[in-house]
Structure 1
C-alpha cells in the first residue's frame, strides 16, 4: 500500500498482531505507553498514526524491533486478507456497486473472510478482462488516430530509445541484422527460442521467469518477420509496459511496440538522411525506402508517416485497404477526406471506387506501384499504391500527399486521374438509373456477413489472446 492511508493501515495491523502475540490487552499496552485504550484502538485500525518518536516506545512495549513494525508486508495470512478486503472495498469498482462496507472484525471466521476476498478478486479480474465491443474498439481506434495526428505520428521518446539500443549493439548503417537483434535481446537478459507449437492466438510469448522469448519457426533467421517480431516482444519491456487495463491502453501499447520495431529497423538518423537526399533529387519513392532497409512495403510506408512531417515538412496519408474496399489501417494529416461513420471511426469504412486503393487491384500487372491523382471535395491528392495478398485475401497499401507536394516524388508525371465526389452516393455507390431499372425487383442477393460485425472482441487482459492456452504452453516449456 503506497499511500498514507495504506501505510497507516498496515502499521496498525502489525501493531495489533504483535500485541496479540505478546498477550497484551488494549488497556495494558495503553498503560505501558501512557496512552488511552481508545487511541491504541484507532492506531490499530489505521484511523490514526503514532508519532515517529513513539515508534521506539511501541517496539519496546511489544518486545520487537522498530523495523518489525515498519515492514511492508502483512504480519500473517489473516491480517493480509483483512488488509486486502479493506483495499478492495475502498476501490472504485466496489463503490460503484452501492453496497455496504463490511468490517473484517476478529469475530469473522477465516473461511468467510477468504470467501469475501475471493469474490472481490473475481470482480476485479472480470472487470480487467471484460470484452471490448466493436463500438469500444472503434472508439479506441478513433481516439488513438487523433492522438497520432496531433503528434504528426512522430514519437521522439521512442526514437531516442531505439537509437540508444542500436548504439549499444554497435549498429552504424545498413539493414539491421539478425545477429544485432539477438544482441539486443541478450542485453536484456533474454534469449530467443524457436518453437513450432505457439498458441494460435499469439505471435510470440515472453517467459519473464526463465528469460525466454518464444518465436515461431517461420521466423528463424532468413525467414520473414524475425526482426520485427523479436523487437516488438522486447519493446514491451524496454518501454515499461504493464498488462493493459483497457482496450484503449492495449491499442496504445501495440502502436508503441510497432513504432519501436520500425525505429530500430529504419533508424531515424539513417532514414532521414536517405529521405532528405531523395527529396532534394525529387525522387522520393516508398519502394526505394523499402529496399534500402530490407523491410516490407507496408512497414516502409508507415515509417515514412513517422518521419516525413517532423523532418521533411511534408504532410502525408497512408491506407491499408482490403479486398472489398474496407479500410483496415489509416493515417492522414494532409486533409485527405477519409470515409467515417457517425462516431468518427474510419476502420471498416469503404473507400471510393475511384481511389487508387481500389483501382490498383483491377490492373492486370501489379508488380510495380500504381500511381494516380484524385480530385476530391477536399482538394487533389497524389498517391502510389502497392498491392499484395495475405491469408485474409487481397489488399492494397497507399501512400500519398496533397497535389502541391507531389513534385518531390517519383511518378508525379502520371496521367492517371480520377474525380471522386464521395460521400455523394452518385459518385460510385448508386447504380446507373438504366441498370437499376433493368434489375430492380429481379434479383435477390445473399449477403456475406462478416462475423466481426456481430461479435465482441475476445475477452482477456491481452485482447485476442487465449490466456488459458498461453499459460498451459508456458507450463509445458518451463521444464524444458
Structure 2
C-alpha cells in the first residue's frame, strides 16, 4: 500500500532542495499548485502516472520516491503527528487539529506524540474488559471450529523440529526438549525467582530461557519449555489486542502439544483404535506420557481431520463453570448474550458435572446424555489443580459413539438446559418450603475487583521482567 503521508513529505523535501515553488512544480507535472499542496500534505493518493511525472521532474526513480523511510527526522515526526490526528482516538477528543508548521519545534511534537501514546495505552487498557475478552474468545472459537481445530502448518513445523533433533516417535523426553532448545540457539535455566506474572522468560539477547525451578505437581515441566520455544519459532511479538493475545496462546499451545504428541504416531494409534472400536483418550495419554488434558486437547486436533469424527471438549471447574470449551459436533454449550461459553454454568446432568459425584476417580466416567440438540456420548475425568478440581471431558454425537471404548455405559441422563426448569430452577415443592426462609452468604469472586490485569491485557509486569533479566544476564566479557 502507498503511504501518501511519507510520499508527500518526500515530494516537499525534494521540491525545497531543488528550489522549486508550488507553482513551478505544478506547472512541471501539469497540476494546479493547490493540488500539489494537497499531495505534499498526504491528503491524496497518487496514481502510477503521477508518480512517474514527479520522478522525472526530480530525476529519481519511482522506487526512490516510494521508499517507506521518511526523508528526515523532522519529516518522521510530522508524519507521526499527522497520523495521530487522523486516528480514531484523536477524533474522540473533540480537539481542533493542530497545523504542522515550521514554528512547531521538534520537542513540542515529541511531547504531543508522547501524550498521545499514553492516551492510547490507557484507552487500550480500559478497552481490555471482560466483554472484549469474551468477544475475542467467541470469535476465536468460531475460527477453530471452521478448521476442525487442526493447523496443518503447525503440524509441519513440529515434524521439522522433530526431524532436526532426531526424534522419531514415542514420548518426548526432557532431554529431547533440551536438545530442541539447543538446536534453536537457547540454553535452559531453572530459577526460583521468576516474575509471578510469567510462565517463562526468554532472553533473546543472550539466548536464554528461564523456567520455574519448582512447579506444581499437576504441571508438565516440558510444556513450559516447549511453549517458550514455540513462541520463538513462530516469531510472535507483543500482541496488540486481546484477540491477538488469545490467538498467540492457541498457536503456542498447539505447537507445544504437537511436539509432545507427534501427528504421525498419534494418528497411527488412533486409526488402529478406531478400527478396533476402542478409541480412548487414555491410550493417547499413556502412549506419549502427557497429562489427560493435553491428550484430550490433542484428540480434538486430530479426530475430525484424520478420523472423520466431530467432537467437543470441556474443562469444567467443580463449581460447574466452564473454563475451556471447543466443539464442532453441534452440541449446544451454554452461552451469554455475546455468544461466550467460558464462565457459563454446565447443566447438572452433563457428564462434566456428574463425574464429580463418582467415587471411582481411577477409571474414566462414561455417559450418554439426551440434549436438545440430540444424544451425545462423553468420557470425563477429574483433574486436581491448585485452583481446585476440574473435570476434563471429550464427547461426540451418538452416531459416532460406536468407535469409542466405554460406549456400553449404563449411565444415561436427560438434559433440558438452557430451559431453566431442567436444573437451574428449584422444584416447586422445595421452593415453596424454603423460599423466604434462607439467606445464603455469597463468596465474592476476587476477579470482580480485578476484571483485567492493571498492567495491560497480558498481565505481565514489564518492570519485574526487565529487573529479572538484569539480575540473571551473564557478565559481559
- Correspondence 1:297 to 2:300: no
Relative distance call for 1:82 and 1:292 in structure 2 (3 A) is same
**Contact residue 357 and residue 385 of structure 1 kept, 8 A:** yes
Kept in 2, the 8 Å contact 1:154–1:310? The answer is yes
Unaligned runs of 5+ in 1: 59-65
Matches within 5 A, 1:312-323: 312-323=307-318
What is the CA–CA distance in structure 2 between the aligned matches of 1:473 and 1:13, rounded to whole Å?
Answer: 47
1: CA distance between counterparts of 2:221 and 2:14?
Answer: 55
SS at match of 1:173: coil
Q: Deviations over 1:275-321 (max 9, x none)?
A: 00111111111111101111110010011111101110111111101
SS in 1 for 2:228: helix
Q: Secondary structure at the match of 1:244?
A: coil
SS in 1 for 2:392: strand
Provide the C-alpha distance between the structure 1 equivalents of 2:386 and 2:70, rounded to a whole number of angstroms: 53
Cα-to-partner distance string for 1:50-96 (whole Å, 9 max, x where unaligned): 733454589xxxxxxx99x9986556654443333233334343345
2:254 is the counterpart of 1:265: no
CA contact (8 A) 2:372 2:415 kept: yes
From the superposition, tell whether residues 75 and 11 of structure 1 become closer, same or farther in structure 2 (CA, over 3 Å).
closer
Q: Counterpart in 1 of 2:242?
A: 247
How many aligned residue pairs are there?
464
2:150 is equivalent to residue 150 of structure 1:
no
Give the drift of 1:248: 1.4
Corresponding residue of 1:383? 378
Q: Work out which of the residue numbers 189, 208, 214 in structure 1 matches 2:210.
A: 214
Quick check: 1:361 aligned with 2:356?
yes
- The range that moved more, 372-381 or 282-291, is 372-381
Residue 391 of structure 1: CA displacement?
A: 1.0
What's 1:5 paired with? 4
Q: Deviations over 1:150-201 (max 9, x none)?
A: 1111111211222122222222111122232233333333332222111111
Alignment partner, residue 341 of structure 1: 336
- Of 172, 176, 179, which residue of structure 2 is paired with 1:180? 176
Query: Residues 313-364 of structure 1, C-alpha deviation per residue, up to 9 Å, x if partnerless?
Result: 1111111010111111111222222212222221111111122211211122
Distance, in Å, in 1 between the alignment partners of 2:184 and 2:85 is 38
CA drift at 1:14: 5.6
Is residue 2:202 matched to residue 1:199? no
SS at structure 2 position matched to 1:387: strand
CA distance in 2, matches of 1:25, 1:337: 71
| 1:133 and 1:455 in contact (8 A); partners too | no
The alpha-carbon deviation at position 127 of structure 1 amounts to 3.9
How far the C-alpha of 1:124 sits from its partner, in A, is 3.2
Determine whether 1:227 maps to 2:226.
no
Q: Would you say the 8 A contact 2:6–2:70 is kept in 1?
A: no
* Deviation (angstroms), 1:452: 2.6
CA distance in 2, matches of 1:182, 1:391: 27
Once residues 19 and 372 of structure 2 are traced to their aligned partners in structure 1, the CA distance between those partners, rounded to angstroms, is: 83
SS class of match (1:218):
coil
- Matched residues in 2 for 1:319 and 1:252: separation? 19
In the TM superposition, 1:385-400 aligns within 5 A as 385-400=380-395
Contact 1:352/1:358 (8 A) holds in 2: yes
Mark the runs of 5 or more structure 2 residues left unpaired by the alignment: none
Q: Secondary structure at the match of 1:180?
A: helix
Deviation at 1:254, TM superposition (A): 0.8
Once structures 1 and 2 are overlaid, which stretch shifts more, 309-318 or 403-412? 403-412
Quote the Cα distance in structure 2 between the aligned partners of 1:425 and 1:133. 28
Find the counterpart in structure 1 of residue 434 from structure 2: 439
Work out the CA distance in 2 between the residues paired with 1:223 and 1:393: 11
Q: Using the TM superposition, name which of 416-425 and 448-457 deviates more.
A: 448-457
Q: Cα RMSD between the aligned structures?
A: 3.4
Q: 1:266 to 1:92 in 2, by over 3 A?
A: same
- Distance 1:421-1:208 versus aligned 2 partners, 3 A rule: same
The whole-number CA distance in structure 1 between the counterparts of 2:190 and 2:457 is 22
Identify which range, 342-351 or 121-130, moves more after superposition: 121-130
Corresponding residue for residue 84 of structure 2: 88
The aligned counterpart of 2:444 is 449
**TM-score normalized by the length of structure 1:** 0.86
- In 1, the alpha carbon distance for the partners of 2:338 and 2:83 equals 37
Q: 1:111 to 1:284 in 2, by over 3 A?
A: same
Tell whether the 8 Å contact from 2:10 to 2:71 is kept in structure 1 after alignment.
Answer: no
| DSSP 3-state at the match of 2:214 | helix
Range moving further from structure 2, 289-298 or 175-184 = 175-184
| CA distance in structure 2 between the partners assigned to 1:278 and 1:8 by the alignment | 62
